[in-house]
A and B are shown apart, each in its own frame.
Chain A
């Protein structure tokens, strides 16, 4: 990954001139092409993007913070916030690494602990520690500030198990038990972020040398691998109520809050809290930002009580500040794992590709 960042300057010698010409052409074509026909707002308010007072937040496509909170922040700080979404969490980090010398914005939110080391090694974030970092929230590399977290766990269709008179499994080992044959669906770690998290859970549980054996036993027990979370959850998982046939599916610890019965008394699914990996999402100030002060204020803003309290409802994540009050149905239906499996971010960064390849060799063959 590092070999790329250093190469930028000398890539093509003719670039500055070619760049200028092509950029001029880009403007001409854009003006000719959409100037007349696209009266959308994004074009008009983008004109003063570099003016002081604008701060651009680069994030992933799951960003969904309440507009009102952002407006309130804009009023209090005098800043104008622009949000740019880059794709999923992995895509986000890779785009930031690629654009290190001409950053896409000022601040970033959404780098998670499985990609954090790549971002830190490439130096895409500047050191910054918010003054009121909550107790229990640990920074990475003095540059990445934790904002929220979520557990990726196997979910179970409670009703199915009740009907089948079978005990709901609890541990990773249970999943390989012939009693639970052909019941589990997971997602591919190469193409899905929860899939990667679950692979890491098994690395955390069985060690770097033991996870392949565990997966081999899962394969023997009829595990099904879907391409993406939505695929596994909506097509294969019986608990989603869409006609799926497998009562065990990889999802999030928060998912049971979405299958609560009409009267709100109970959820038809539950998360197996002994099968979890914890994803932590970080924010930071981008190196080379036009507006580093604004970016710092934005990172501080994400840690404020209001935003922390809004995170569960808007982004389905637990706030990083443990003092934050959780919504009542979360307390009841979406408890966090007490001891999720862990793998050091640096370890993940170093071995991710290799582990995925070994996983592929074991599971796909």
Chain B
């Protein structure tokens, strides 16, 4: 055995170039399109008249308001994450371990909120929560609970998808064995299933935490003037006051909070990681049976979550999008999508913006799959030396950071770092940075989706392949790739969805004639006129349908590839 390991190590040494490239390309990408712009803007905040000035620290850190914001940020992020996980688990079970008619549709539907523009979701929820609204009696208007509900609405799909993706591949025989040894369903779940799912849960929770901690639009709209987070404060300080001194301190504070959370979640993940017996997704799901009380409970809980949390707010949107200005029903708003709006609110028609969105999302998806795939591959290794293991862990954490840093900081950072034309093109105003900025946000999701699956590959499979004489390239091709490909379908869907819905950075970088769907929606809803409002909602429905379709296609792609390999 020892000799075999030696041989394995030798064969890995023959491929330093491969691994070098796999590390260098993503790092280069992250450095140029994330770390450098953010650092440049933060440094700008600490330099006054050419002299380093750190007094901003004492000023901002001694203000009680700052700590109130930190407290609120953590509170809403922790609550949002906990509720997303709690509600996401039964849904993941229902949608990935049970099969029923229309399951694909529900899977697609669950993802939709994830990409809806925050301004539309904010208005939809406020309409529900307002004193005269459907849920007005709950008193959620301008409350922390209201914000948390909206955060869960956005993020529960991350939990469902990430956890479900692993759950459906868990070998059901382990659970069956436990059950036949006399363990009740609750005990099987607690002692067998939950520990096996832990890495995926931790993975999803860390992503959701980052999204919640940096939520911006929805906090502003639903929280009213009393609620704010570090993120909203950075946005206001930067775009409205140009107070980079405070914004820089807050950015660092945000980075510290986020990194702390990441370290904690990485620890939790690492402790739980173990090679799992994975099986083909096909066959692990049992048909939903109305005779099993367990199934009925799960189905009812799942239906309640889907209807209460997702269908209700979205139905409001759809219904309003089908109302004509005179109050009657009709598809006038959809017909109007071929125009530039009442009194030309837009420069391009909504359909043109849709085409731009799809093109941009395609480019961003390819970028994030390449970069994110490489990161996942490198991070999935467990090198034997402590130093190398630490380095791999750091790399993992580094690529999560873009989720935890304000899009405003990145967007404004681009303006000062890319200030020289490249090959005669001013990147800042060319629109070329749009897919890049979207990819930066999508990469962490690709990593988090592919990684749990790659890590769950039994290392002995690779060792056996190496012992049998496969070079490292061949090991990758024959062991890692076929298994990873199954999660790539899901990763593609997520990357595409994120890029379709990205608004923060896109709004800074897209040109008016290259506006994406969320940008035109934002513009339409920013204008008076029943027709513009109706169009904004119709365009949101189009965005939602587009996303659901993409996610369903990604699922199908995955299922076909996944079949019959084991």
Report A's interface with B, CB cutoff 8 A.
1, 3-4, 6-7, 9-12, 18-19, 22-23, 25-27, 29-30, 33-34, 36-40, 42-43, 46-51, 56, 58-59, 61-64, 66-67, 82-88, 90-91, 93-95, 97-99, 101-102, 104-105, 118, 188, 190-191, 225-231, 233-236, 240-245, 251-252, 254-255, 258-259, 262, 313-314, 316, 352-353, 360, 363-364
Contact = CB atoms under 8 A, between A and B. Distances in A.
B332 to A, nearest CB: 13
Given A88-B239, A104-B415, A244-B130, A30 B429 contact: no
Contacts of B186: none
B225 A364 contact: yes
B143 to A, nearest CB: 14
A34 to B, nearest CB: 4
B416 A98 contact: yes
A63 to B, nearest CB: 6
Interface of B: 28-29, 31-33, 36, 40, 43-44, 47-50, 119, 122-123, 126-127, 130-133, 220-221, 223-226, 236, 238-244, 320, 326, 340, 342-347, 356, 359-360, 362-363, 366-367, 370, 412, 415-432, 435-436, 439, 507-508, 510-514, 519, 522-523, 525-530, 533
A2 B446 CA distance: 42
5 contacts: A22-B32, A37-B363, A66-B344, A188-B225, A313-B343
Nearest to A65: B347
B511 A245 contact: no
B36 to A, nearest CB: 6
Nearest to A21: B32
B242 A64 contact: no
Contact of B511 (A12, A84, A226, A254): A84
B512 A46 contact: no
Nearest to B136: A245
A12 B221 contact: no
The residue in A37, A228, A230 that gathers the most chain B C-beta atoms within 10 A of its C-beta is A230
B439 A33 contact: yes
4 A-B pairs closest in CB distance: A102-B419, A84-B429, A38-B363, A42-B431
Contacts of A56: 426, 429
A225 B320 CA distance: 25
Given A22-B31, A30-B432, 12 more contacts: A4-B242, A23-B418, A49-B429, A62-B526, A85-B511, A85-B512, A87-B239, A94-B238, A102-B419, A104-B429, A190-B236, A235-B123
A33 B366 contact: yes
Contacts of B424: 47-51
A3 B49 contact: yes
A49 B28 contact: no
A38 B359 CA distance: 6
The residue in A63, A87, A235 that gathers the most chain B C-beta atoms within 10 A of its C-beta is A235
A50 B239 CA distance: 28
Nearest to A22: B32
Contacts of B510: 85
Given A233-B528, A243-B127, A313-B343, A226 B435 contact: no
Nearest to B507: A87
The residue in B29, B43, B240, B344 that gathers the most chain A C-beta atoms within 10 A of its C-beta is B240
A245 B326 CA distance: 19
A262 B531 CA distance: 13
Contacts of A262: 326
A63 B423 CA distance: 28
B399 to A, nearest CB: 15
Given A46-B425, A104-B428, A191 B420 contact: no
A258 B429 contact: no
A63 B512 contact: yes
Contact of B50 (A10, A66, A105, A235): A10
Contact of A40 (B131, B342, B359, B522): B359
A48 B425 CA distance: 7
A41 to B, nearest CB: 8
B508 A29 contact: no
Contacts of B435: 33-34, 38
B514 A42 contact: yes
A50 to B, nearest CB: 5
Given A37-B366, A38-B362, A90 B240 contact: yes
B429 A58 contact: yes
Given A43-B430, A49-B425, A104-B415, A83 B511 contact: yes
Nearest to B368: A33
A138 B362 CA distance: 48
A105 B36 CA distance: 23
Contact of A64 (B123, B221, B346): B346
Contacts of B122: 231
Contacts of B220: 191, 227-228
Nearest to B347: A64
Given A82-B429, A83-B511, A104-B429, A99 B416 contact: yes
A34 B49 contact: no
Nearest to A26: B32
Contacts of B362: 37-38
A90 B238 CA distance: 10
Contacts of A25: 28, 31-32
A180 B223 CA distance: 25
A33 B363 contact: yes
A70 to B, nearest CB: 10
B49 to A, nearest CB: 5
